[in-house]
C-alpha cells in the first residue's frame, strides 16, 4: 500500500468536499492517506469583508504569502505521492498554498515526488496553475496530473454570484441566477478520480512519469477565457506593484489606491471582459486554429478526454 500526502486549504468548504470525494476511494483501497490542512498564523475571514478581500490582492499576485502554523507532520516524512488542492485568488494560488510551496517543510515534502494538483474555482485557473507548476518544479516535485472543478454557470452570471458568495457567504440562487460554486453532482463525481488513482497506485504508475488520470475529463479549458485571463494577469502584475508601493497589507495609507483598483476591477469586469469575449466570438473562424492549439496545450497533462469515464463512474 502507498503513502499519500494530501495538502488542503478550503476557505468555503467546497474544496474540502471535493478533496474528501477524492480521498475516500484511496482509503477504501487500503492506501494510507495523510490529510494536511493548512492553517495560516493569521486566519483569513469568511465571508470576506470587502476591504480585507481587496487588500489581499497585491500579495496574492506577488506571491508574498504570510507564514503558516507548523505542519502536523515532519518535513522528512516519506510519501509516494503528493496531492495539492487549492483555491484561486486573483488569478493566483490562494496564499496559504503559496506559503506551503515557499516553506522549507513544504519544499522538502514534495522534493522528488510525483504531484497531483486539484483546483476548485469560478472559472479562471490557468494562470494560477502555471504558477503552481513553476513552484512545484522549483521545489523538485514532478507534476503528474491536474484536476479542475469550476462553476458551470455563464461567465456573466458568475460575475455576480461569486462575489456575492465571497462577500456575504450566501451561494443560493439569486435574481434568477444559478447558485454559485461547483455543482453538487460534479463534487460527487470527483470520486472517479480517487478510484482511478487507487488502481494506478496498485500498478505503481506513480513511478512511470506519465499521467495517471487521463480519460476522465480531468480538465476542460475554455480557450477564449484563457486569452482574457492572460490580459488580466498582465494588468494585475502592474497594479499589485503599484499598490505595494503605497504600503503593506493592512496599512491605511494604501486604502485610497485600493479603492481606485476596485473601481478599475469593476469596470474591467463589466466592460472589457464581455467585449473581449464578444470580439473572440465574432472572429472565431480566424481564431479557431490558435484557440484549438491553446486548448490542447493548457489541458495537459491529464486532458479532457473521456475514454475512462464509464469504467470509473459511480
Residue 192, pLDDT score: 97
pTM: 0.94
Q: How far is CA 271 from CA 14, 127, 159, 241, 275, in A?
A: 30, 21, 12, 24, 6
Q: Each residue of 209-244: pLDDT tens digit?
A: 999 999 999 999 988 788 778 888 999 999 999 999
Q: Which span out of 9-13, 34-38, 269-273, 290-294 was modeled with the highest average pLDDT?
A: 34-38
The total of other beta-carbon atoms located within 10 Å of residue 264's CB is: 13
Q: Which residue has the higher pLDDT, 4 or 157?
A: 4
CA–CA gap between residue 312 and residue 314 (Å, rounded): 6
Residue 206 has pLDDT above 90, yes or no: yes
Spatial separation of the C-alpha atoms in residues 85 and 16, rounded to whole Å:
9
Rounded CA Rg of the chain: 19
Model pLDDT, residue 106: 98
State whether the Cα torsion 118-123-126-127 is positive or negative: negative
Q: Which residues, in sequence order, are bridge partners of residue 147?
A: 118
Alpha-carbon gap, residue 78 to 314, rounded angstroms: 32
Q: How far apart are CA 152 and CA 89, in angstroms?
A: 18
DSSP category for residue 70: P
Strands 88-89 and 114-121: unpaired
Comparing 281 with 107, the larger pLDDT belongs to 107
Alpha carbon 111 to its chain centroid, in Å, reads: 21
Mean predicted confidence (pLDDT) in 144-150: 97
Q: Where are the alpha helices (DSSP H) in the chain?
A: 14-28, 50-55, 57-62, 95-102, 104-110, 126-138, 155-168, 184-189, 191-202, 223-244, 255-267, 273-282, 284-298, 309-312
| pLDDT for res 267 | 84
- Strands 81-86, 32-37: pairing kind: unpaired
Q: Count Cβ atoms below 10 Å from residue 149 Cβ, excluding itself.
A: 23
Report pLDDT for 281.
74
Amino acid at each position: 500500500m502507498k503513502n499519500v500526502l494530501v495538502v488542503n486549504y478550503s476557505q468555503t468548504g467546497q474544496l474540502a468536499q471535493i478533496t474528501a470525494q477524492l480521498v475516500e476511494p484511496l482509503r477504501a483501497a487500503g492506501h494510507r492517506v495523510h490529510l494536511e490542512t493548512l492553517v495560516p498564523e493569521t486566519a483569513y475571514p469568511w465571508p470576506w469583508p470587502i476591504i480585507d478581500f481587496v487588500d489581499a490582492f497585491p500579495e496574492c499576485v506577488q506571491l508574498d504569502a504570510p507564514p503558516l502554523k507548523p505542519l502536523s507532520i515532519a518535513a522528512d516524512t516519506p510519501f509516494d505521492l503528493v496531492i495539492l488542492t487549492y483555491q484561486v485568488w486573483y488569478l493566483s494560488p490562494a496564499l496559504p498554498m503559496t506559503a506551503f510551496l515557499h516553506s522549507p517543510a513544504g519544499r522538502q515534502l514534495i522534493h522528488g515526488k510525483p504531484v497531483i494538483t486539484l483546483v476548485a474555482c469560478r472559472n479562471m485557473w490557468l494562470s494560477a496553475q502555471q504558477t503552481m507548476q513553476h513552484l512545484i518544479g522549483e521545489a523538485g516535485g514532478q507534476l503528474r496530473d491536474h484536476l479542475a472543478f469550476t462553476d458551470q454557470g455563464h461567465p456573466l452570471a458568475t460575475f455576480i454570484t461569486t462575489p456575492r458568495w465571497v462577500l456575504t457567504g450566501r451561494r443560493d440562487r439569486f435574481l434568477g441566477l444559478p447558485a454559485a460554486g461547483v455543482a453538487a453532482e460534479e463534487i460527487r463525481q470527483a470520486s472517479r478520480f480517487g478510484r482511478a488513482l487507487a488502481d494506478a497506485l496498485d500498478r505503481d504508475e506513480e513511478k512511470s512519469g506519465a499521467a495517471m488520470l487521463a480519460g476522465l475529463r480531468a480538465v476542460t479549458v475554455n480557450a477564449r477565457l484563457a486569452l482574457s485571463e492572460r490580459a488580466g494577469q498582465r494588468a494585475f502584475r502592474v497594479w499589485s506593484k503599484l499598490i505595494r508601493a503605497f504600503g503593506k497589507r493592512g496599512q491605511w495609507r494604501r486604502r485610497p489606491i485600493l479603492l481606485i483598483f476596485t473601481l478599475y476591477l469593476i469596470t474591467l469586469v463589466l466592460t472589457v471582459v464581455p467585449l473581449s469575449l464578444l470580439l473572440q466570438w465574432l472572429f472565431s473562424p480566424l481564431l479557431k486554429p490558435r484557440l484549438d492549439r491553446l486548448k490542447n496545450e493548457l489541458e495537459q497533462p491529464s486532458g479532457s478526454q473521456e475514454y475512462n469515464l464509464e469504467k470509473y463512474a459511480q
